[in-house]
Amino acid sequence: MKRFLFLAPIVAFVAVLVAFFAGLGRDPSTLPSVYLGKPLPAFAAPPLRPGDIGLTNEDLDRGEPVLLNAFASWCGPCRYEHPVFLKLRREGVAIHGLNWKDRPEDGQRWLAERGDPYIRLGSDPTGRTGIELGVAGVPETFVIDKRGRVRYRHVGAVTPEVWDQKIGPLMAKLRAES
């Protein structure tokens, strides 16, 4: 036993190396939301679409799992996920939107040019509503369960791959929950 004690520092070094190497692959920008497992705080965003009613936290607690997507017309990756949301909406997935740190006229033009996948849609030109929700940038997408609790937050574009591998299966699971 004692003869192999000299190996202990080497074993410890290798363990640290493995831990650090595993950490290298993790993206520090994708932090879990502080609201994970909890409902989002109360908020009310004014409408972006003329004559609409805007978006409040109560829209996220209607007994069905929903997506809440923060987007902006100036955001590059939002262009990639927009067609995905249009397709999902046609397939019956409930999606709400928050137009974050964007001028309302720019947000309206974005929807007019590219189509509108959102059921409820709030305008947040100052970004204050997004900050209440812990939004650090766009695009960000919250996955909310039947009881209005945040179950996942995706930072970055919801590409077809992200939907197929992560959010789609999660939504199916949330729909099956009682």
Partner 1 sequence: MRRILLVAASLALLAGPAAAVNPDEQLADPALEARAHKISKDLRCVVCQNQSIDDSDAALARDLRIILRERITAGDTDEQAVGFIVQRYGSFVQLKPPLRADTIALWFGPLAVLLLGALGAFAYMRARAPQRAAALTADEEAEAARLLKTDGAD
137: contact with partner 1 by CB under 8 A: yes
Applying CB under 8 A, among 82, 101, 149, 154 the residue interacting with partner 1 is 101
Q: Which two tokens stand for residue 42?
A: 């109360």
Stretch of 25-33, 55-63, 110-118, 162-170 contacting partner 1, by CB under 8 A: 25-33
Q: Per-residue contact track with partner 1, 42 to 81, x per CB under 8 A? A: ----------------------------------------
Q: How far apart are CA 167 and CA 19, in angstroms?
A: 28
Residue 100's alpha-carbon distances to 40, 59, 175, in angstroms, are 16, 17, 28
Q: How far apart are CA 138 and CA 110, in angstroms?
A: 15
153: contact with partner 1 by CB under 8 A: no
Nearer to partner 1, 40 or 67 (CB): 40
178: contact with partner 1 by CB under 8 A: no
Q: CB atoms < 10 A from the CB of 70, how many? A: 26
Q: How far apart are CA 40 and CA 132, in angstroms?
A: 9
Stretch of 30-38, 57-65, 107-115, 159-167 contacting partner 1, by CB under 8 A: 30-38
